[in-house]
Amino acid sequence: MTDPGLIDGRYRLVRPLGRGAMGVVYEAEDENLQRRVALKKLSAVGGMSADDEALARFKREAVALARIDHPGVVSLYDSGLHGDVPYFVMQLVDGVDLATLVEAGALTPGVACAVGLGVARALAAAHEAGVLHRDVKPTNVGITRQGSVVLHDFGLARLAGESAITRTGVTMGTPQFMAPEVIMGAAPGPTADLYGLGVCLHFMLTGNLPFGPAAEVGAVVDSALGAGIRPLSTGLFPFTPVNLALLVDRLCAREASARPRTAAEAVRLLEPFGGDDGQAALAELVAASVRNTAILQACETPAGTRETPPESGPEYEWDEHALPGPRVPRRDVFRPLTLSTTTRRLVLSSMTPQNAVSRQREAVNLVLRGELQEAAEMLSSITQVCLSSLGPDHPTTLAAQFWQAVCLARLGAGPKALELFSSVNRHTDQRGNDSDE
């Protein structure tokens, strides 16, 4: 019997990470090399022809990624077909995306420039390889726990010299971060990617979307083609150095000719504002974000209680055309990363103490390898399932909570870790007392 969770006999799907217009991205385990990877599958299934537009764009993303060799661009490991569904396997970036990082508010100029420099260097490498990204935005900028910036999701990438796949009259991209000339239908060039970089810098330095939180695409387009992005150099944001504000305004210029001509030039212009201090502060922010997420995941199911599966719940996905402002809760735009009703029922129907222990061993190996973010997320899911199917006193449930507490402690979330350790101790003591009786 075919295992639906095993792709091409090698990649075991662990959990969905997100769903976009083209495909679904999963965290997966490469069973041959015993490492975590990101696996992207095309959303369409069955009936695809060789000239299908989505399939062509999907293949082009793989070709684009394969052309680029740079630490700031997500690495492509493998590609293939699973049945009639194409997939490719990429580097799994541990950390957070830029949109998540700005939820707490505007970033300091040093931190913003550290991110901007990372994006600019990645774009320079992509452009050198003849690849335009065409969708530079905060959700496509990953930042590792070491403070390294990794540009990903080349789903709209266009190889220089190739004709566009997109149907006539259809504009692909995210209007908040799309260059005005592209909105009007012109072929994108390197300066269109630099516009996206400029808007990301504007977003980081102000903590707000350039045209406000309006979800109506028409209003965003009217603003982008009308007055354009409000200049930083007007003095409304006094904490931004004047020369940096002028550079961001230049990157965000409505006219492509007013922007820096190349990504390499943008790197050169940004370098005076970035430094090691900014990257160190960036790493601290990412560590705090990962720690807070782990705490929230641990709090989703109170320790020691039996969870009742909800009647309905969202799948793992996000809204690609909206981003949260700094004070808007993440869950208003990004749907919560909890088990969906369908997933929960599927897992609960097949959960036994034996396979729960197997999944738990995988998570413990992640802990021992220092892959704490992935381990914390995996253990959170295992704990939810164990509480529902095995109960709060089952040894597998208690073991999952113990290792979840270990993750929290190593991530620096001491109080929540102690709370979980105490809960495990109480239930263990109670089991011992019951057995004595």
Residues that constitute the known binding site for ATP: 40
What's the first-to-final CA gap in the chain, in angstroms?
Answer: 46
Residue of 94, 135, 153, 249 with catalytic role = 135
Q: Are 140 and 97 in contact (CB under 8 A)?
A: yes
Q: Give the per-residue SS3 of 77-128.
A: EEEEEECCEEEEEECCCCEEEHHHHHCCCCCCHHHHHHHHHHHHHHHHHHHH
Rounded Cα–Cα distance for residues 16 and 18 (Å): 6
The 8-class DSSP code of residue 60 comes to H
Q: Which amino acid is at 107?
A: L
Closest residue by Cα to residue 18 from 92, 68, 125? 92
Rounded Cα–Cα distance for residues 193 and 196 (Å): 5
User: Could you confirm whether 135 is annotated as catalytic?
Assistant: yes
- Residues annotated within the binding site are 40
Rounded Cα–Cα distance for residues 308 and 279 (Å): 43
Rounded Cα–Cα distance for residues 359 and 361 (Å): 5
Q: Counting beta carbons within 10 angstroms of the beta carbon of residue 180, is it exposed (0 to 12), middle (13 to 18) or buried (19 or more)?
A: buried
The residue ranges of DSSP E strands in 185-285, in sequence order, are none
**Residues labelled catalytic:** 135
